[in-house]
Amino acid sequence: MLKRYLLAPGPTPVPSNVLLAMASPVIHHRAPDFLPVLDSAKKGLKWLYQTNNDVLILCSTGTGGMVGAVNNFFNKGDSVLVINGGKFGERWTKICRAYNLGVEEITVEWGHAVKPEEVEDRLKKNKDIKGVFVQASETSTGVYHDIKAIASVVKKYEDTLFIVDAISALVAHDLRTDEWGIDIMVGGSQKGLMLPPGIAFVSVSEKAWAKAETSKLPKFYFNFKKERENLARNQTNFTSPVTLIIGLNESLKMLRAEGLENVFKRHETLANATREAVKALGLELYAQESPSNAVTAIMSPPGLDGQAVYKNLREKYGITAAGGQDRARGKVFRIAHLGYSDRFDIITAIAGIEMVLKGMGYPLKFGTGVAVAQELLMAQGG
């Protein structure tokens, strides 16, 4: 028997009480008994997003939320600025171009974070930019972009929206939607919210809603104005993912009990222990600065294929992590510390890495990384 451990950056493990809640009988999405369920979910999401804005609930993956963040607020030919520092930055560019927006890119070397002054420089040079798109946590590289600093730049421009993909950052990082001035922020169920894939969440500021009034891009399923109208009645525009929303309420209950500051601290602690443990093994982080608290991308030792490391973790020891994507394929493997994760998930991950690397011929002393992780987790109360 091979016991399975899910340590990928999505989907992430689902707690047993959330699974049990979702096993309750299905209720009809237009029936009166669903109204308080959705009402509770929308209030909980406002708490998590730290916002007074509406947070829409869409039956889709996070990418659906990204699509809606484009086609509801812009028009054909609008100039937008995309921060492209990984596979998901590329996705913003592809979505914007699919809707015929005029895309400028700040191309950031993989493993690095964008410099806020570069964003400011572009906005000064092109006064017609209508939106700035960025990832908070670029999952493919393990880099966190400084959302607070970028937001402080963009908010100076009254006609420019700030749009954040927080799909892997939500819960792992403190993202203050209203305080910082984030106009549109996208989340997903299968990351920090400890749910199966299937729901996207999008917060929308009043500044962005004003832009929605003049947007002429085609929209049908991802029609945010109709979603907002239905949300006011504790409904969704189309069939609600009732089972997932029931589970969402349970996961939000868990997060509320832990407290936001403690949730963010836990993710920071687990991420730091992971990073320091792998460095103790002589490994390098792919993120050259500003590493994400959601996932750690680890450089494979010279001569070893990162994909082989990732596959051996899964096939030999039952640990599902993640490999590298695109230009990082074969160069890195990735370990998540996101959502329903605790200290022993990290210890398991580091022990598994040690065993795989040792088996592939990499010289190390068993327990080196594990010991560092244990020391840090105890010292930081993890």
Element (H, E) at 334: strand 332-336
Say if strands 143-144 and 332-336 run parallel, antiparallel, or are unpaired: unpaired
Are the C-beta atoms of residues 142 and 163 closer than 8 Å to each other?
no
**Domains detected in the chain:** 16-257 (3.40.640.10), 259-379 (3.90.1150.10)
Q: Is the peptide bond before 11 cis (omega within 30 degrees of 0)?
A: yes
285: nearest Cα among 277, 295, 293, 296? 296
pLDDT score at 380: 81
pLDDT score at 213: 97
CA-based radius of gyration for the chain: 21
Q: Encode the chain (382 residues) as per-residue pLDDT tens digits.
A: 899 999 999 999 999 999 999 999 999 999 999 999 999 999 999 999 999 999 999 999 999 999 999 999 999 999 999 999 999 999 999 999 999 999 999 999 999 999 999 999 999 999 999 999 999 999 999 999 999 999 999 999 999 999 999 999 999 999 999 999 999 999 999 999 999 999 999 999 999 999 999 999 999 999 999 999 999 999 999 999 999 999 999 999 999 999 999 999 999 999 999 999 999 999 999 999 999 999 999 999 999 999 999 999 999 999 999 999 999 999 999 999 999 999 999 999 999 999 999 999 999 999 999 999 999 999 987 5
- Backbone φ/ψ region at 282: left (φ over 0), alpha (ψ -120 to 50), beta: left
Are the C-beta atoms of residues 174 and 264 closer than 8 Å to each other?
yes
**DSSP H helical ranges for the chain:** 16-22, 35-49, 62-71, 87-98, 116-125, 147-154, 177-180, 206-212, 224-231, 242-258, 260-280, 306-317, 343-359, 368-379
pLDDT score at 214: 97
Are the C-beta atoms of residues 304 and 364 closer than 8 Å to each other?
no
Q: Is 85 helix (H, G, I), strand (E, B) or coil?
A: coil
Sign of the four-CA dihedral 94, 95, 96, 98: positive
pLDDT score at 17: 97
Distance CA 271, CA 144 (A): 12
pLDDT score at 337: 97
